[in-house]
Structure 1
Amino acid sequence: MAAQKELDTAVRVVHLTSSLCRRVQEKLLLPSENGGVHVESKDDDSPVTVADWSVQAVVSWVLSEVFGVGNVSIVAEEDTKALSEVDSSGLLASVLNTVNESLAEAPKYGLPKPDKPLGPSEILEAIGRCNSTGGPGGRHWVLDPVDGTLGFVRGDQYAVALALIEDGKVVLGVLGCPNYPTKKECLTNGCRQIMSKMPGSVSDGSQKGCVMYAKRGSGQAWMQPLLGGGQELRFPNSGRLLKVSSVDDPTLATVCEPVERANTNHLFTAGLTDSMGVKKQPLRVYSMVKYAAIACGDAEIFMKFAHLGYKEKIWDHAAGVVIVEEAGGVVTDAGGRPIDFSRGVYLEGLDRGIVACSGRALHDKIIGAVYASWDSSNL
């Protein structure tokens, strides 16, 4: 099982990279003539920013430095293809500056920093090392450097997600949620208004942003506020214990679902919630922040039913699943089976979809409704 040093390091590096993301998002929301950052497009047409590569480079470098390059296997979303192209020198320079700016602050988070700034080849090497495909054996870190990139580039919710899988089981998870608000109603409509005043700051008098984490078998999940200027991270510091909501009546439940229509079937989810008597409108949120909302008690249900042919990836779920479960929630596929993280990059064998709930009673009601609704659906 995961050692305390690994959890300690993971929490620290997610704090560090969440701070990195805040700075990049602030620049991203500026007009381009005022220094807005690069946004490129990946093969699947989803946007990828300087933050994605920079977070991946920082996490890879820190984990390799702390545990040794030969002892670290990382499954992550990004590769170096776009950064290595001849016409990408400006993009690589932005990543280089962002990474070195972040690593210079690493000691504040109790982490090592390089003796001198990293060069382009070292940055590309760090990103490229994250090429593991996971599997049923061994220990593999799983990273989504910026989960919910669309939310990120739009000034909305996103997450830095890091988990550790041992012999196919998620043993720890950490979620950095830099825009997570203190008020649930701000999850979808309050972030950009706040950020337009002063991105990445506490401009409305309330704390915004946190890191959540859990270790398998501990029965505990924790939340820490993100550090402000001049603070140093003392782990664990000022964390509060997370507990899922006690609501088990679907008519009172808040349901989270993805914003994007491309990889989720909103119509089926709407029909399912209607059949269960859910009265509230769905809370559509980018990224694994949906898992965070359940772990915090801000929502009771997260359901995702992908369109035919879409394959869920382990980095989109690993960290969130263990945090919800250790906070007292239940996460399975739509057939009621535990999520299988042992089969590589994808969640192969997933039964129809994913259902995360604040408790067993509510979960069982949803699984029953899924079976009742499935035959009449168009999936």
Structure 2
Amino acid sequence: MGCFDFRSIMEDERYSQEFDVAIRVVHLACSLCRRVQEGLVSSSSDQVKSKDDDSLVTVADLSVQATVSWTLSEFFGGQNVSIVAEEDVRTLSKADSADLLEAVVCTVNQCLAEAPKFGLKSPDKALGPPQVLAAISRCSSTGGPKGRHWVLDPVDGTLGFVRGDQYAVALALIEDGQVAIGVLGCPNYPMKKEWLNYHHQHYQTMSKMSSSTLDSREEGCVIYSRRGSGETWMQPLIYGDKKLEWPNFARAIRVSSINDPALATFCEPMEKSNSNHSFTSGLAESIGLRKKPLRVYSMVKYAAIARGDAEIFMKFARAGYKEKIWDHAAGVLIVQEAGGVVTDAGGHPLDFSKGLFLEGLDRGIVACSGAALHEKIIGAVYASWDSSNL
């Protein structure tokens, strides 16, 4: 694919300001996450907490949410911004969370000090705990069918993040129930798709030993699109001491042209707690998928399809689990605008207008690089569902 100047992408006036700010703030958030992940992996940090539902939250989750919330509110006006996001301040309100709050405040201020590098505003003075807590608390919208709602997953795939592996920063704008903008930051996405099969730390080690070119080494990227554009773009990350100026160049990406199941690569969630691997395994066999499943943390799976590194993503949740809109909104749009198809397992479009959850979801989610593969999977779901153990 050819390269495009970032500025030419902004010439389309639909959501141009929102699109511009979203891409920049996700780049900024990815820079924050890389620093925090390196610290978590290289030290015995205790800055990881369990939430009330026993899932993990880190200083990065909370810091990214505060940073994105503060930036969107400053740019568009706090009274005019509706933000739906995963984290709340209850974790920071616990008696044993003083150190975590201190780390979040410090991390947010370090991150916002870098904002001008990405063409964003820094605060006039450092934010204190009240301002940081207020920014996190501001993300309390429940979405719905009317109006504009920003949807944020500050660190999608927190377990992968803590383990030094794949994760994503996901930001979407939903207007009147339709995803209008999707931005997906993938700080550890390897430039060679085969390296997705390896733990990120193993990749880094092998990359340092390699004499390969820059494009084959771990760089990370931000992928984004707008509804109706028919294009999805990818930019390399700007971080650390890299001598890249903002804006840097983006290139258009497209889904794979493979439509033979025997040649297709399919992704599924790493975690077994909320995904039925046995059903997807049986389904894969029934439609002739021969390759071993690519199990990757987070919405990086959507990125892999949009970039042509995989052809299928299937997720069938276990009984009682409800899919959240922030786990899919950005990824669904970037796949669709890159030429892919995403529906529920009944072949219906995903409905982002019902609030925090994908209400009415028919059995699961199926994302494919093209209609032919999608039709085969949907047909196989109907054929095998009655005998499944879901």
Q: Which residue of 2 aligns with 1:46?
A: 55
Q: How does 1:65-104 map to 2 (within 5 A)?
A: 65-104=74-113
Q: What is the CA–CA distance in structure 1 between the aligned matches of 2:169 and 2:124, rounded to whole Å?
A: 26
Matches within 5 A, 1:1-379: 3-32=15-44, 36=45, 38-195=47-204, 205=214, 206-228=217-239, 229=241, 231=243, 233-235=245-247, 237-379=248-390
Question: 1: distance between equivalents of 2:150 and 2:236?
Answer: 23
CA distance in structure 2 between the aligned counterparts of 1:79 and 1:180, rounded to whole angstroms:
28
Q: Tell me the number of residue pairs that the alignment of Structure 1 and Structure 2 aligns.
A: 373
Give the direction of change, closer, same or farther, for the CA distance of 1:281–1:197 in structure 2 (3 Å limit): closer
Query: Greater shift after overlay, 210-219 or 76-85?
Result: 76-85
- Give the deviation of 1:56 after TM superposition: 0.0
TM-score by length of 2: 0.93
Question: What is the rounded CA distance, in whole Å, between the counterparts of 2:347 and 2:122 in structure 1?
Answer: 44
Give, in angstroms, the shift of residue 203 of structure 1. 11
**TM-score, L = length of structure 1:** 0.95
Asked if the contact 1:2/1:171 (under 8 Å) is kept, the reply is no
Q: Counterpart amino acid of 2:254? A: K
Could you tell me how far 1:103 is from its partner in structure 2?
Answer: 0.1
SS in 2 for 1:133: coil
**CA deviation vs aligned residue, 1:164-186 (integer Å, no higher than 9, x gap):** 00000000100000000011111
TM-aligned CA deviation for residue 31 of structure 1? 2.8
Within 2, Cα distance between the matches of 1:209 and 1:111?
Answer: 21
Contact 1:108/1:231, CA 8 A, preserved across alignment: no
Cα distance, 1:85 vs structure 2: 2.5
Greater mean deviation of Cα atoms: 139-148 or 183-192: 183-192
Change (3 A) 1:12 1:82: same
Q: Closer, same or farther in 2 for the Cα pair 1:248/1:306, shift >3 Å?
A: same
CA pair 154-204 structure 1, distance change in 2 beyond 3 A: farther
Aligned letter for 1:18?
C
SS in 1 for 2:271: coil
The answer as to whether partners of 1:220 and 1:242 remain within 8 angstroms in 2 is yes
Answer whether contact 1:155 1:195 (CA < 8 A) is retained: no
RMSD: 1.8
In structure 2, stretches of 5+ residues that fail to align are 1-12
In 1, Cα distance between the equivalents of 2:218 and 2:376?
35
- How far apart are residue 197 of structure 1 and its match? 8.7
Question: Which residue identity is paired with 1:23?
Answer: R
SS in 1 for 2:42: coil
Query: Is residue 2–residue 172 contact of structure 1 (8 Å, CA) maintained in 2?
Result: no
SS in 2 for 1:355: strand
* Structure 1, unaligned runs of 5 or more: none
Q: Please say if residues 182 and 330 of structure 2, whose CA atoms lie closer than 8 Å, have aligned partners that are also in contact.
A: yes
